[in-house]
Amino acid sequence: MTALPSMNRRTFLNASIAAAASSLLPRMYGETNSSTLEEAASGSHLTPNWKDEGVLDLTNSPHAKLKTVPIRAVVIEQGFWSPRRATNVTASIPSMREELLEHGRMDNFLRLENRSTAQQRGPVYSDSDIYKWAEAVGFALQSEPLPELRRTTDEMIQTVVAAQEKSGYLNTYYVQDRAAQRMLPHTQEMGHELYNIGHLLQGAIAYYRATGDPTLLNAGMRFIDGYLLPDYGPGTNQKPIVAGHPEIEMSLIELYRTTGNRRYLELAGYILHGDDRLNLRPESITYMFCGIPFTSRTKLEGHAVRAMYACCGATDYYLETGDPAYWQTLNHLWQDLSEHQMYITGGVGARSQGESFGHAFELPNAQAYGESCAAIGNMMWNWRMLAASGEARFADVIERALYNGINSGMSLDGKLYCYRNPLAHDSSTRDKIRNPWYDTTCCPPNLERTLASLPGYFYSTSEDGVYVHLYDNSEMNWHLHSGTSLHIKQETRYPWEGDVRLHVHLPAPEAFTLYVRIPAWSRTTTVTLNDKPVEGVKAGEYLPIHNHWSGHDHVEISFDMQPKLVHANPAVADDMGRVAIQRGPIVYCMEQLDQKAGSAPIEFYGYSAHLTGETTSSFEPNLLGGVVALEHPGSFAGAPATEALYSTGEPSAAKAEPATKLKLIPYYAWANREDSSMQVWIPYIRT
pLDDT tens profile 165-179: 999 999 999 999 999
CA dist 277 and 45 (Å) reads 33
DSSP state of 451: H
Query: Which of 118, 217, 206 lies closest to 160, judged by CA?
Result: 217
Residue 15 has pLDDT above 90, yes or no: no
Q: Which helix (H) or strand (E) holds 242?
A: none
pLDDT band at 345 (very low <50, low <70, confident <90, very high): very high
Of the candidate ranges 128-132, 568-572, 581-585, 644-648, the one whose mean pLDDT is the lowest:
644-648
Looking at residue 9, its pLDDT comes to: 54
Mean pLDDT, range 489-512, rounded to an integer: 97
Task: Please tell me the predicted confidence (pLDDT) of residue 40.
Answer: 45
Task: State how beta strands 627-638 and 600-601 pair.
Answer: unpaired
598 Cβ contact partners less than 8 Å away, ≥ 6 residues apart: none
Task: Residue 414: count other Cβ atoms within 10 Å of its Cβ.
Answer: 25
Q: What DSSP line would sit under 60-89, residue for residue?
A: T-TT-SSEE--GGGEEE-SSSHHHHHHHII
Cα distance from N-terminal residue to C-terminal residue, the chain: 62
Closest CA to 460 of 260, 313, 319, 311: 319
Q: What is the pLDDT of residue 2?
A: 38
Note the pLDDT of residue 30.
29
The answer regarding whether domain 9-455 maps to CATH 1.20.1530 reads: no
Neighbours of 261 (CB within 10 A): 24
Q: For residue 614, what pLDDT band results from cuts at 50, 70 and 90?
A: confident
Selection from 565, 607, 573, 566 nearest residue 367 by Cα:
573
Q: Rounded distance, CA 65 to CA 386, Å?
A: 8
User: What's the CA dihedral at 181, 184, 188, 193 to 10 degrees?
Assistant: 40
Q: Check if the beta carbon of residue 45 is closer than 8 Å to that of residue 229.
A: no
pLDDT tens, residue by residue, 569-612: 999 999 999 999 999 999 999 999 998 765 566 667 666 777 66
Q: What is the pLDDT of residues 262-295, one digit of tens each?
A: 999 999 999 999 999 999 999 999 999 999 999 9
- State which H helix or E strand residue 617 sits in: strand 616-620
Q: Which CATH number fits domain 459-558: 2.40.10, 1.10.10, 3.30.70, 2.60.40?
A: 2.60.40
Q: Where in the chain is the domain with CATH 1.50.10?
A: 9-455
In sign, the C-alpha dihedral spanning 66, 69, 75, 76 is positive
Comma-separated ranges of CATH 2.60.40 domains in the chain: 459-558
